Structure 1
Amino acid sequence: MNPTANTTERVYSTTDDIVRNLSLVRDEIADTAAKIDEHEIATLAGLLGPNSRVFVAGAGRSGLVLRMAAMRLMHLGLTVHIAGDTTTPAISSGDLLLVASGSGTTSGVVKSAETAVKAGARIAAFTTNADSPLARLADALVIIPAAQKTDHGSNVSRQYSGSLFEQVLFLATEAIFQSLWDNTDVAAEELWLRHANLE
């Protein structure tokens, strides 16, 4: 028996597997996004004023989603900083910290929120856990009813770890961007002028 052949058979999915799992991911995202309270997202979006400085803090894949959101907010003309970057200034009164943590207990994210609160900044948070330390610090809170990354036996999602939270977080932040843009008269061509040209 050729062990390499057996490994290859185990690694590669069939077309049926892909079709089934595309449907699984699509349906879980649609079901979960439909359960988000739109008023929570609208309240959070209302904190993203055109003259405010926005700071973004997240860990892992949630942090990557927030970096994508930061890019879109920059395209809208907002002043946006990523926590931890070498050129990020101190957060202060009047600023907004945008954070995400499925569990609401991610130590670095909670610590960033605590620091921001002490500096007089407001907190806009996404989490699955309304009773978490992060949720208690938030001025605007969006609950995404997805499984937490360590909830491996959850009946909320069949996907691995925090995938569903991260996927719906992306949709929520895209909806925020689109809504903010809809309320401007700025053309896409003008937004494009702000897109990075040192890529």
Structure 2
Amino acid sequence: MSSISLATPTASCVEDAIGVISNELTETVRALDPQEVAKAAGVVLGARRIYVAGAGRSGLSLRFTAMRLMHLGLSVCVVGDTTTPAIESGDVLIIASGSGTTRGMVAIGETAKKVGAHLVVLTTDASSPLAKLADEAIIVRAAGKQQVERAASKQYAGSLFEQAVLFVGDVMFHAIWQQNQIPTDVLWRRHANLE
């Protein structure tokens, strides 16, 4: 048990948090370039298999996207899962990395490119190694986890980026779903039934 004593937030403090997070996320997602997301969606739809990777919370956010793309009937793998097969030419790897410099993610991106797979990157830094390596980069106007100054974001670490990654994935899914007019019951048949 922890010896740290933390105070329970007041309703006013919670209300402030709701305002900060919703305002920052709204501003960030409105700054997204729809062309970047559309191009990335085109690469994803042209792939034989889709792989997703990200360290920490960025990776967790991309797992949401993996599930939704599977609901569309696409073949999706999560890097690091024991059943994930080798990536090959004709596949696409989607990486989320706020800094675009996370060593493990850069190495994974380099491996994917070496075998001829396409690379889609979500990052805050258009000049980062991952963004430069990418076939398509989606630039998220959010603070990276190392940018601790409050001017970049009032939220802790890379929270805003990670929230935006989830949002971008849902935007991509929703746009593909609506563009192709797929009936909801078709998606629902692919929903997990071993629950």
TM bucket, shorter chain: over 0.9
Residue 93 (str. 1) matches residue 89 (str. 2): yes
The alignment of Structure 1 onto Structure 2 pairs a total of residues equal to: 193
1:51, distance to aligned residue in structure 2 (A):
5.8
Return the index of the structure with the highest Cα Rg: 1
- Structure 1 counterpart of 2:156: 160
Match of 1:74 among 56, 70, 76: 70
CA contact (8 A) 2:52 2:95 kept: yes
Q: Per the alignment, do residues 146 and 166 of structure 1 end up closer, same or farther by CA in structure 2, a change over 3 Å counting?
A: same
Q: How high is the TM-score relative to the length of structure 1?
A: 0.93
Could you tell me which amino acid in structure 2 is paired with residue 189 of structure 1? D
CA contact (8 A) 2:95 2:122 kept: yes
- Structure 1 counterpart of 2:54: 58
- Structure 1 counterpart of 2:145: 149
**2:28 aligned counterpart, secondary structure:** helix
Could you tell me which amino acid in structure 2 is paired with residue 26 of structure 1? S
**2:45 aligned counterpart, secondary structure:** coil
1:185, distance to aligned residue in structure 2 (A):
3.1
1:156, distance to aligned residue in structure 2 (A):
2.0
**1:151 aligned counterpart, secondary structure:** coil
Residue 137 (str. 1) matches residue 137 (str. 2): no
- Structure 2 counterpart of 1:172: 168
CA-based RMSD of the aligned residues comes to 1.5
- Structure 2 counterpart of 1:115: 111
**1:48 aligned counterpart, secondary structure:** helix
Structure 2 stretches of 5 or more lacking a match? none
CA contact (8 A) 2:94 2:121 kept: yes
Match of 1:29 among 25, 37, 41: 25
CA contact (8 A) 1:50 1:78 kept: no
Q: Per the alignment, do residues 88 and 149 of structure 1 end up closer, same or farther by CA in structure 2, a change over 3 Å counting?
A: same
